[in-house]
Structure formats: C-alpha cells, structure tokens
Amino acid sequence: MSTELSFQIAARDAGARTGALETPRGTIRTPAFMPVGTAGTVKAMFPETVAATGADILLANTYHLMLRPGAERVAAFGGLHEFMNWGGPILTDSGGFQVMSLAKLRKISEAGVTFQSHIDGSTHELTPESSIEIQCLLGADIQMAFDECTPFPCSEAEARASMDLSMRWAARSKEAFAAQGAAGQALFGIVQGSVYPGLREQSARALLDIGFDGYAVGGLAVGEGQETMLEILGATTPFLPEERPRYLMGVGTPLDIIAAVERGIDMFDCVMPTRSGRHGQAFTWEGKLNLRNAVHAGDERPLDAESSCPAARDYSRAYLHHLFKAGEYLGPMLLSWANVHFYQDLLQRIRTAVAERRFSQFAAETRSRLAGE
Amino acid sequence: MSTELSFQIAARDAGARTGALETPRGTIRTPAFMPVGTAGTVKAMFPETVAATGADILLANTYHLMLRPGAERVAAFGGLHEFMNWGGPILTDSGGFQVMSLAKLRKISEAGVTFQSHIDGSTHELTPESSIEIQCLLGADIQMAFDECTPFPCSEAEARASMDLSMRWAARSKEAFAAQGAAGQALFGIVQGSVYPGLREQSARALLDIGFDGYAVGGLAVGEGQETMLEILGATTPFLPEERPRYLMGVGTPLDIIAAVERGIDMFDCVMPTRSGRHGQAFTWEGKLNLRNAVHAGDERPLDAESSCPAARDYSRAYLHHLFKAGEYLGPMLLSWANVHFYQDLLQRIRTAVAERRFSQFAAETRSRLAGE
C-alpha cells in the first residue's frame, strides 16, 4: 500500500468529518464532490471552469476511456491529465459498474468479465489485473479495485457469492497495483454486499485484511431508495477505519450527500449536476428548477441570487428558458456550470459547518430549504 | 439620419481602409468581423469568451428572435444586450434574407412578406415598418433596412423588379427608423441587384438619395462563386460613399474577407467560424483542418501553434478528435472558440497591415499560407 496518500481529519461533528487528502497533484478538501468526466471531459464544461467551481478532483471512467480513445493512446500523451488538460488529481473507477450497466453480452467468470462494447460491439475483457493496468496507463491518482456491482433487488445468496468474488478480485487488484502503481498513486477497495448488513460487514473486514489507501461503498443508489441506502451505509461505515478516506460511489442528491456525510463519508461522485444541467434542471438554494417549464419564460430573476457563479448570476431565468427551448448549446453549458458550482458550494458549506461544529444545524436548515427537491 | 455614428478612417492602402466606428456601446475597429448570435447566443460560446476573442460587435437575427422568444419579451428585459448578457454593440439584420431562406409559404407583396414560421408553422408578416419596429424593440445599435434578397441564378428582369421593390422598402425603412430609432442607433441600407453591375449601381444611387448611416452589399455569396462575387463587389463599392462604413453581408471565408477588404469593405458577418466549429472544422494559420479525420487521432500538436487562443493552444489535435468522435459538447465549444478567435486575429492582422501600408504583401502572404483552404 502506498503510504503517500496522507489523510488528515481536522474536525469531527455529529458523525461527520472534515479534512484534507493530500496527493502529489494537489490537496482534496473533504468532504469532496468529484464531478464526472466520463470520456475525459466534464460534459459541456471547460476544465478551467470546473476548477473555478472549487472542484479539487475529477472522476473519469475506465470503461469509456479503454474503448475510446483507448488507454494506450492516453498513455502515449503522458496520461489523462495531460490529454484532457486537467492538472489536479483524477480518480478512475474500475470499469466494473459501467460494464454491468452499459456493455452488452457480459460474461462473468472467476477471471473477470468479457463484454461487447456499446460503441461498436467489439469484444473486450476486464479483469482485476487489466483494470489496474488501464488505470495505471491513464495515470489515475486514485484507482479503484475491480468489483462486481449487484443490481437491486438481489437475493442474499447472490449478493454473498458476488461479494465473495469481488473480495477475491480486490486482493488481485491490490497485487496488480503493488506491481504497477506509480509513486504517489493510491488504490481504494470497494465494499459490496447489496442491502445485507452482515455481508457489508464481512466485505469491509475482508478489505481491511487486504489493506487499501481508502475504502469505498459501492452497490448503493442502484434502486433501493434513500432510506435503505442510508440504513446500509450506516451499517457499513462503522467497520471502516477512521483514519482512511471513505467514498460513497455514485451519490447523489444534495440531501443524499448531507445524510451520507452524517454517516462519516468523505468523498462523492455523481453525474447528477451535469446530466441534470444538460436537460434543463437546475440546483439552486431555493430548490430544483426545471428551466424548460413555461413558468420561467418571463422571469427576469437570475437562476440563483445566492450563488456566486457567473452562470447562475448573470443570466435571467427567461433567457435560460429561451436557450433550452431553442436547443442552444449555451443552455447546457450554463446549467452544467451552475449545477457543478452549486454542488461545490454545498460541499464547502458542509466542510465549514463541520469545522465550526454546527453541522446538525446546517443539515436541518438545508433540508428545510431544499425540501421537495 | 442619426449623426451619432461617427466613422473615422485612419489609413488607406491598396483599396483597403482601416478605421473606427463609434457607437454609444463601444468602438468597432474596422475592418470588423461580427460573430453571428442568431437566436441571442453565439452558438456554443459564452459572451465573455466572444468578447475575449476581440469581437467588438455581434450580429443577431430578427427573424429568429421575433419568432422565439419574441421581440416584446426581449424588450421587456430592456433589450437584447441585457437579455443575452452582451454589453457591446449589436447589429440586427432585417429578417428579409432569413425569411427567404428559412420560412415556409412566403408571399411577397408591395406591403411586405407573409410567411409561416419554420418552428411551429404560425403565420407572421414582415414589412419595412414591422422589421424596424422589431429591431427597435431588440434595441439594436445598427439596424438594417428591410429588403428582398434574390436567389442565384436570377434573370436581370427579376433582379431589377426585386431591387426596385427593395429600394421602395429601403425608403419606408428609413421613414420608420426616423420615427422610432433611439438616439445613437444607426440604420444601414442594402444594395441589391444580383450579378448585374448596372442594377448594383442604380441600387447604390437610390440608397444614397435616401441617405443611410452605412451601406451594405447584400445578395452576394448566394451561390454565384467567389470570382463573380468579387467582380460584382468591385463594381459596387465605387458607388458607395467613402466616408460611410460598408458592410458585405454573410461573407465569408478568410480569403473572401481579404479580397473584399481590398475592394473597400469595412464590415463582415458569417456563421462559418461557429458552424464549421460545431462540425469539427478548424481554421488555423496552417489552413483548414477536419478534426474528425482519423489522421489527427494520434497527433499531439495543438490545433494552432501560432494562436494565442487557449482553445487552439492548450489541447492536442488528438484530444479534439476524441471529443468529436465521442460526440462531446466540449468539441464544438473549443472549435467555435478557436475559429472565432482565428477570424478576429485575421481581422486584427488586416487592420495592422493596412495601418502599416503593407496590405498587398499581407494579402499575398496570407493567400499563400491558407492556399487550398
């Protein structure tokens, strides 16, 4: 295990923690939200703009990049940072989740997964070893162990078999990373076990035995609902080491994030701010708005008077409505920017509230403000 | 006629001139290229970025804006500048050309044109009076007389009848503008007459009799070819007053622009840099590149090493190729930016060359560099 990923917790409050994860490419303030740059671009945003919102780290997808433009091509350019013009840290997923949700004709064996590309139908294989190799070619600062993510619902027997397989893959991922990972790079393990607390505990213990730089909770936010997600999350984090970063994968809404921070989570990623933005949905401190709605056609107010983001401040809701009705690029460009800014602002407020030991009050107030979201 | 549109010619060289057109919203350095913001947005660009490329003025389309969001809505927001967050000057076309090329079931009479919207099929009318009314509601700094633009080819008899009608409409446009135009706003007349020099001369003389703040050449670049366009342009500009700005509508390629500047043109607009950019075509100082082409897939070079534009400088051709192959927003965003920057850079080089009395040499060198474009 790399010893270079320093994680310092500066303050704890009401189950939450705030701190800093140090990587050679920069400091990640936690709790952190990672915008998703699936194919090597945070959709409809310039990398400088992403950085200006306050994002310290991006997520990129191994599955997409291995298929196009190919990991070797990215490596030939000196890695993904250079390729996409992003100087800060990058976390890559292992490809496991994306293979399950996007690829065709998947076949899972002890060795790994063979699948057909959703782009051109070509056949590929992902194994713990090849996933780590690809993540190393991409030059990811934080890499993820290769795992299987079970769908919801899933029987306990299926969940157990899948989790056991993922834990064997985690050990192989660790071994591959030990051989190939560069100095300063880190590897996170992923807790699986579906909605079964006993399996989650076993999975966490298995990962701890292997030893990782950080621990992710996977297989949630796949249809089980917020209540179950939080129940399982609350039954999992107690088994994760205090001194290592904890990452809840693929989550979520602003209120999901607040509830997960209350359960000790440090890192998040989600396509929601950018995907919603492309479809005319805005996150604001007054709650969510659908800019396609005719109610905004004559509204001179900015998107969010409380925001310091130019996209939320310098254009009227009526103009944004017009852009979406007219199918103009600028609509998705402005709302993606405003939404990523909102998420970064939310995380900054969370960090400040924890540091000032008023996180419970902040959480209650924010739930009330964003109710109905 | 407004006397507030001051136009000062600072230098003349080899048929070309350079100077400054003063409007209450800012100075337009000439020769000038106006990026096109059809529906109140220069497609895939932030207004700040458009300004940063060096654009002093934008063009917006009366036809599109009258249909969506509607001129009254824009007026309720204090005009198009406020609506679209662009503080500099705006020129609006009259809607005439767009009605001819986009609308369905056009019917032309002495009064004006009735047509069906290409958006929803609803019936609308444009007349010289309503065109000026709409342009005033939009708050355009430079407005255009309402005209008919003949297609190519067009018989001389048809061209004469159409030009005569356009001249009667020009007089009505002037009258409407005199009644409705605000202080500091300007009205340009448009020379028509298809490819017939005699008609072009008659049209220019008719406009001079009416008197405008500036004179545009319309009805070119509609399929007649560059040679004919330049021949007709050369037969037209001698009849336009030296002391007023001259605007060649809808033109064109970099070499079209250079040739038109040689014939005394001061202003241009064209969708080419943004439309090409959205389709993967880049203008560079090495000539045009199609970034979709597989030849760029492994090319580490920036788009244009000679450019000071971040979009042309900070990303490899391979990355741009990847973005277009993957259908990512960032591809059109970067190439639109780079192309508009290229056009503004071209116009700045033209202005400098004229000011330094080496325009012929510049034109020859640039033709050689961009040959095959």
Interchain pair A328, B46: CB under 8 A: no
Residues of A in contact with B68 (CB under 8 A): 322, 325-326
Q: For residue A76, tell me if it sits in a domain.
A: yes
Q: For residue A36, tell me if it sits in a domain.
A: no
Q: Identity (one letter) of the amino acid at A335? A: L
Cα B285 to Cα A202: distance, rounded to the nearest angstrom: 62
Q: What is the pLDDT of residue B372?
A: 62
Mutant choice from A120, A271, A300, A330 vs B, greatest count of B C-beta within 10 A? A330
Q: Do B129 and B174 have their domain in common?
A: yes
Query: Which domain-ending residue is among A214, A242, A270?
Result: A270
Q: Do B25 and B158 have their domain in common?
A: yes
What beta strand segments (E) does chain B contain?
Answer: 6-13, 16-23, 26-30, 32-34, 58-60, 90-92, 104-108, 113-116, 123-126, 142-144, 186-191, 214-217, 246-248, 267-269, 281-284, 287-290
A residues 167..226 contacting B (CB < 8 A): none
User: pTM of the prediction?
Assistant: 0.97
Count of structural domains within chain B? 2
Q: What is the pLDDT of residue B197?
A: 98
Q: What is the pLDDT of residue B4?
A: 62
Cα B169 to Cα B207: distance, rounded to the nearest angstrom: 11
pLDDT tens digits, residue range B13-49?
999 999 999 999 999 999 999 999 999 999 999 999 9
Q: Do B62 and B181 have their domain in common?
A: yes
Give the mean pLDDT of A115-140: 96
Q: For residue A23, tell me if it sits in a domain.
A: no
Residues of A in contact with B326 (CB under 8 A): 39, 64, 68
DSSP string, A169-229: HHHHHHHHHHHHPPTT-EEEEEE--TT-HHHHHHHHHHHHHH--SEEEE-S-SSSS-HHHH
Give the mean pLDDT of A268-295: 98
Which entry of A256, A266, A269, A304 is annotated as an active-site residue?
A269
Query: Which domain-ending residue is among B269, B289, B313?
Result: B269
Q: Contact, A50 vs A333, CB < 8 A?
A: no
Q: For residue A4, tell me if it sits in a domain.
A: no
Q: For residue A136, tell me if it sits in a domain.
A: yes
Q: Do A205 and A310 have their domain in common?
A: no
Q: Do A290 and A315 have their domain in common?
A: yes
Q: Any idea which of A320-324, B116-120, B268-272, B318-322 has the lowest mean pLDDT? A: B116-120
Q: What is the pLDDT of residue A273?
A: 98
Q: Do A203 and A299 have their domain in common?
A: no
Considering chain A, what is the average pLDDT of its residues?
A: 96
pLDDT tens digits, residue range B231-251?
999 999 999 999 999 999 999
Give the mean pLDDT of B159-171: 98
Share of chain A above pLDDT 70, in %: 98
Q: Do A199 and A314 have their domain in common?
A: no
Which of B73, B318, B333 shows the shortest C-beta gap to A77? B318
Q: Do B251 and B291 have their domain in common?
A: no
Contacts of B74 (CB under 8 A, 6+ apart): B40, B65, B80, B83, B137, B138, B139
Q: What is the pLDDT of residue B1?
A: 45
Is A269 a known active-site residue? yes
Considering chain B, what is the average pLDDT of its residues?
A: 96
Q: Do A289 and A227 have their domain in common?
A: no
Residue A317: domain span: 277-361
Q: For residue A28, tell me if it sits in a domain.
A: no
Above 80 in pLDDT, residue A200?
yes
Q: For residue B1, tell me if it sits in a domain.
A: no
Dihedral in degrees, nearest 10, Cα atoms B165, B170, B173, B178 = -150
Cα A225 to Cα A229: distance, rounded to the nearest angstrom: 6
Query: Which domain-ending residue is among A252, A270, A288?
Result: A270
Q: For residue B339, tell me if it sits in a domain.
A: yes
Give the mean pLDDT of A290-302: 98
Q: What is the pLDDT of residue B105?
A: 80
Q: What is the pLDDT of residue A1?
A: 45
Q: Where are the alpha helices (DSSP H) in chain A?
A: 47-52, 62-67, 71-76, 80-84, 96-102, 128-138, 156-180, 197-210, 226-236, 254-262, 272-278, 310-313, 317-325, 330-355, 359-369
Q: What is the pLDDT of residue A3?
A: 54
Cα A147 to Cα A248: distance, rounded to the nearest angstrom: 15
Give the mean pLDDT of A69-81: 97
The CATH number of residue A221's host domain is 3.20.20.105
Q: Do A76 and A149 have their domain in common?
A: yes
Strand order in the sheet with B90-92: B32-34, B267-269, B246-248, B214-217, B186-191, B142-144, B90-92, B58-60
Give the mean pLDDT of B82-106: 93
Q: Do A299 and A261 have their domain in common?
A: no
Please tell me whether the peptide bond between A153 and the residue prior to it is cis, using omega within 30 degrees of 0.
Answer: yes
pLDDT tens digits, residue range A214-237?
999 999 999 999 999 999 999 999
pLDDT tens digits, residue range A80-98?
999 999 999 999 999 999 9
Q: Contact, A184 vs A23, CB < 8 A?
A: yes
Q: Do B110 and B146 have their domain in common?
A: yes
